């Protein structure tokens, strides 16, 4: 029998969480009711109290409650709940988690859910599920279900929604997983402008017995890849599309943050890095591009996406960043430079071809790098470059595992 954690503020939403807990029990699963509330006393008896939740992170909740500062209490609980949930999941005490809430409840519960690993069943029934949920989900596979009406009591609509939600989390827990696949994993970064490179490299990796997980370098994709690498599930990293750093440096819309490229360094994963698509910064529709960039070289990718060519000074900074990130790696890492083009549209005769900017990028990499660099007179999508980069990663992996 599986156990499902029902977490939430049991002082204000206790009856709703108790209803879901009862529906889960009807379906043959055990329930662990966890109180994250910091207001009045819980209206139902929890299996794990708010004090026990706080204690899991070394916090004494009572002095915080005595100060009657709701914000301080919620911050403390949002720090403690992930610690507790991750611990009891790791110990095998729970097999899924569900919560119900409005703005505060959603922020609190999803903070806890984000501490759980990929594939662990997580369901948030929220009044915010129809809007922008990026800051609640992060890079985790949290399923969000619209509450339709406010999570404020039980009525014919909320009972229907909560019953379906209970059935959904039970089904997620019950779903059998394919466990026969045991191939080692390679994580790869890709953009539309480097698709051919990844497709060709993927063939090389699969022939060598690897499974390739491809992440679209759109900011969220890069963050998700970093999280997967940090989890220790990955045997190698084929990071040939580092374009998110252009957005981070220049102020585009697809930044993955300043820690992009850090996970493989911290976990000691063999890697190949390339300056793929560092020729472009992403913005929305043309009219949304900041006025500060007037006069720059733009390419309308589609009505919703405008690309801006990075210039020589920006490329020099990007080259330095790329090299310094690679210098921090403990496992074998190689920087691969496709001298003729770092994207489809930076090749000679294409709209983003800029020999001076490319030169600044490549010289900065060479000047700052302490790791091996392989330069090929190829475009990033050429079969020669793609296969050479793939084989280099396989060599780096082999070196890592040599006794």
Do residue 254 and residue 376 come from a single domain? yes
Do residue 289 and residue 345 come from a single domain? yes
Domains held by the chain: number? 2
- Whether 259 maps to a domain, the answer reads yes
- Whether 179 maps to a domain, the answer reads no
Do residue 14 and residue 80 come from a single domain? yes
Residue 402 clears pLDDT 80, i.e. is over it:
no
Average pLDDT over residues 12-16: 94
- Whether 226 maps to a domain, the answer reads yes
Point out the domain boundary residue: 118, 144, 174: 174
Dump pLDDT digits (tens) for 99-126: 999 988 999 999 999 999 888 999 999 9
Do residue 198 and residue 289 come from a single domain? yes
Residue 266 clears pLDDT 80, i.e. is over it:
yes
Provide the CATH number for the domain around residue 60: 3.40.50.12020
CA distance 395 to 48: 50
Mean pLDDT over all residues of the chain?
A: 95
Do residue 168 and residue 193 come from a single domain? no
pTM of the model: 0.79
Calculate what percentage of the chain has a pLDDT beyond 70: 99
pLDDT at 401: 79
Point out the domain boundary residue: 126, 144, 174: 174
Domain limits for position 90: 3-174
Do residue 282 and residue 395 come from a single domain? yes
Spatial contact of 98 and 126, defined as CB atoms under 8 Å apart: no
- Whether 139 maps to a domain, the answer reads yes
- Whether 180 maps to a domain, the answer reads no
Point out the domain boundary residue: 117, 147, 174: 174
Residue 181 clears pLDDT 70, i.e. is over it:
no
The residue to which tokens 């063939």 are assigned: 203
**CA 83 to each of CA 57, 58, 87, 115: distance values in angstroms, whole numbers, following the listed order:** 6, 10, 6, 7
Do residue 206 and residue 255 come from a single domain? yes
Do residue 162 and residue 194 come from a single domain? no
Do residue 162 and residue 207 come from a single domain? no
Reading the block at residue 381, the tokens are 């999508």
Closest to 25 in 3D by CA, of 6, 51, 38, 48: 6
CA distance 326 to 371: 7
Q: Which helix (H) or strand (E) holds 79?
A: helix 70-90
- Whether 383 maps to a domain, the answer reads yes
Do residue 213 and residue 353 come from a single domain? yes
Do residue 163 and residue 241 come from a single domain? no
Do residue 134 and residue 84 come from a single domain? yes
Provide the CATH number for the domain around residue 233: 3.40.50.12030
Dump pLDDT digits (tens) for 187-238: 999 999 999 999 999 999 999 999 999 999 999 999 999 999 998 889 999 9
Dump pLDDT digits (tens) for 52-72: 999 999 999 999 888 888 888
């Amino acid at each position: 029998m599986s156990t499902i954690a029902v977490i939430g503020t049991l002082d204000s939403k206790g009856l709703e969480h108790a209803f879901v807990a009862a529906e889960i029990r009807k379906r043959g699963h055990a329930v662990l009711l966890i109180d994250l509330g910091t207001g009045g006393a819980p209206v139902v008896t929890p299996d794990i109290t708010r004090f026990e939740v706080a204690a899991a992170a070394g916090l004494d909740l009572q002095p915080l409650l005595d100060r009657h500062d709701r914000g301080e209490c919620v911050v403390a609980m949002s720090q403690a709940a992930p610690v507790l949930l991750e611990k009891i999941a790791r110990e095998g005490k729970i097999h899924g988690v569900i919560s119900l809430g409005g703005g505060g409840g959603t922020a609190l519960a999803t903070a806890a859910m984000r501490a759980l690993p990929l594939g662990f069943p997580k369901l948030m029934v929220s009044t915010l599920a129809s809007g922008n949920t990026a800051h609640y989900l992060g890079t985790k596979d949290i399923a969000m279900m619209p509450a339709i009406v406010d999570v404020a009591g039980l009525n014919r609509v909320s009972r229907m929604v909560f019953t379906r939600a209970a059935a959904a989390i039970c089904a997620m827990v019950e779903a059998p997983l394919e466990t026969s696949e045991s191939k080692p994993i390679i994580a790869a970064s890709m953009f539309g402008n480097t698709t051919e490179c990844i497709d060709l490299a993927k063939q090389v990796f699969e022939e060598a017995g690897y499974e390739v997980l491809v992440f679209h370098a759109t900011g969220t994709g890069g963050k998700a890849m970093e999280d997967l690498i940090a989890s220790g599930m990955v045997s190698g990293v084929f990071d040939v599309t580092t374009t998110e750093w252009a957005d981070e440096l220049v102020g585009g819309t697809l930044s993955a943050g300043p820690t992009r490229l850090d996970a493989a360094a911290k976990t000691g994963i063999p890697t190949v890095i390339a300056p793929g698509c560092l020729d472009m910064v992403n913005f929305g529709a043309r009219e949304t591009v900041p006025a500060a960039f007037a006069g720059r070289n733009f390419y309308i990718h589609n009505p919703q996406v405008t690309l801006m060519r990075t210039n020589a000074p920006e490329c020099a900074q990007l080259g330095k960043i790329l090299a310094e990130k690679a210098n921090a790696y403990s496992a074998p890492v190689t920087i691969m430079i496709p001298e003729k083009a770092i994207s489809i549209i930076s090749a000679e005769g294409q709209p983003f071809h800029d020999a001076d900017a490319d030169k600044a990028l490549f010289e900065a990499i060479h000047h700052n790098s302490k790791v091996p660099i392989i330069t090929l007179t190829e475009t990033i999508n050429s079969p020669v470059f793609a296969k050479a980069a793939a084989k280099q990663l396989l060599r780096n992996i082999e070196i890592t595992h040599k006794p």
